[in-house]
Amino acid sequence: MIRIISILVGLFFTLGLAWSFGNGAYTAITEPAPVTAEHEFHLVPKEVHFASDGPFGKFDRQQLQRGFQVYKEVCSACHSLRLVAFRDLAALGYNEAEVKAIAKGFQVPGIDPNTGEANMRPGLPTDYFPKPFANDVAARAANNNAIPPDLSLITKARHDGGPYVYSLLTGFQAQPAELLKEFPDAKTPNGLHYNPYFANLNLAMAPPLTADGQVQYGDGTKSTVDQMAKDVSAFLIWTAEPKLEKRKQTGWPVLGFLLFATVLGYMSYRSIWAEKKKKKA
């Protein structure tokens, strides 16, 4: 009796699942989703090449230092790097003295050893990049009720990673007349900014890179908006995956070993079982 009831219950759920699937498919065919401005005008990220791309890619240390400079002088006013410590910057080619100087230029939360009260102190190499706002309320108040995301893993958290960040930084523009003609209600609200590379076309962040020469590079590279966007995108690829080069360097020997082990295993198999197959035949 219990077996029959179990079969009937399973059959009931199977029929319910099949009905739900069929009804959903029928609805999708007969009542297609309405066309939206986001669907029509959202663009895929631009094609851009980074030195770290591909199975043999390596980070360009000079570019990473330029990207860090852009982050420090432009992005750090709103965005944090809570998973990156100052000492990690040594991987970009900075020496110990330079890392200490960079850390000292930031104020981080600390404790007064005399009174035990919370205070702010110059950063140390062991500290992590501090948050630009004391809390979410302060962040919302300064950014049109939006909380700027932490950038530590942004290129891993967003599809297309570096190209997405680069496209977003260089994609601010006026709303096209065609969009407003086709979707009159899709006008960008006050306080937001139109960007076709953002999912809903409008975001609270104002264009952070507004003019060539906004950051003065120490290595003589011309700091166009395009160059600055590419450099900071490369830097954020590094913050999201600082062990990228090591992973690639380790991966190739591992693949070679696995290939060799596979061939050796197949040859051993043929050698061990060849005689037994002959005897069986």
pLDDT in tens, the chain (281 residues): 678 888 888 888 888 888 888 877 777 777 776 778 888 899 999 999 999 999 899 999 999 999 999 999 999 999 999 999 999 999 999 999 999 999 999 999 888 888 888 888 999 999 999 999 989 999 999 888 899 999 999 999 999 999 999 999 999 999 999 999 999 888 999 989 999 999 999 999 999 999 999 999 999 999 999 999 999 999 999 999 999 999 988 988 899 999 999 998 888 888 877 666 666 65
Q: Compute CA distances 11 → 3, 5, 17, 42, whole Å.
A: 12, 10, 10, 44
pLDDT at 25: 77
What CATH number does domain 38-84+129-242 carry, 3.20.20.70, 3.40.50.10240, 3.20.20.10, 1.10.760.10? Answer: 1.10.760.10
Residue 51 to residue 63: CA distance in whole angstroms? 9
pLDDT at 127: 96
Residue 18 C-alpha from the chain's centroid = 38
pLDDT at 88: 97
Handedness of CA 11, 13, 14, 16 (dihedral sign): positive
Residue 271 to residue 281: CA distance in whole angstroms? 16
Residue 219 to residue 254: CA distance in whole angstroms? 38
Which structure tokens are listed for 85?
A: 């410590």
Which structure tokens are listed for 192?
A: 């937001």
**C-alpha neighbours within 13 Å on the C-beta side of residue 138:** 8
Q: Compute CA distances 167 → 86, 129, 137, 184, whole Å.
A: 27, 25, 29, 26
Residue 93 contacts residue 238 (beta carbons within 8 Å): no
Which structure tokens are listed for 261?
A: 């082990």
Residue 41 C-alpha from the chain's centroid = 22
Q: What is the pTM of this model?
A: 0.84
**C-alpha neighbours within 13 Å on the C-beta side of residue 28:** 6
- The domain segmentation of the chain, as residue ranges, is 2-32, 38-84+129-242
Which class for 185: exposed (0-12), middle (13-18), buried (19 or more C-beta within 10 A)? exposed
Four-point Cα dihedral 234, 235, 240, 244, nearest 10? 70
Residue 104 to residue 96: CA distance in whole angstroms? 12
Which class for 49: exposed (0-12), middle (13-18), buried (19 or more C-beta within 10 A)? exposed
Helix/strand number for the chain, H first, E second: 10, 4
Handedness of CA 227, 96, 102, 120 (dihedral sign): positive
Residue 54 to residue 237: CA distance in whole angstroms? 13
Length of the chain in residues, anyone? 281
pLDDT at 276: 66
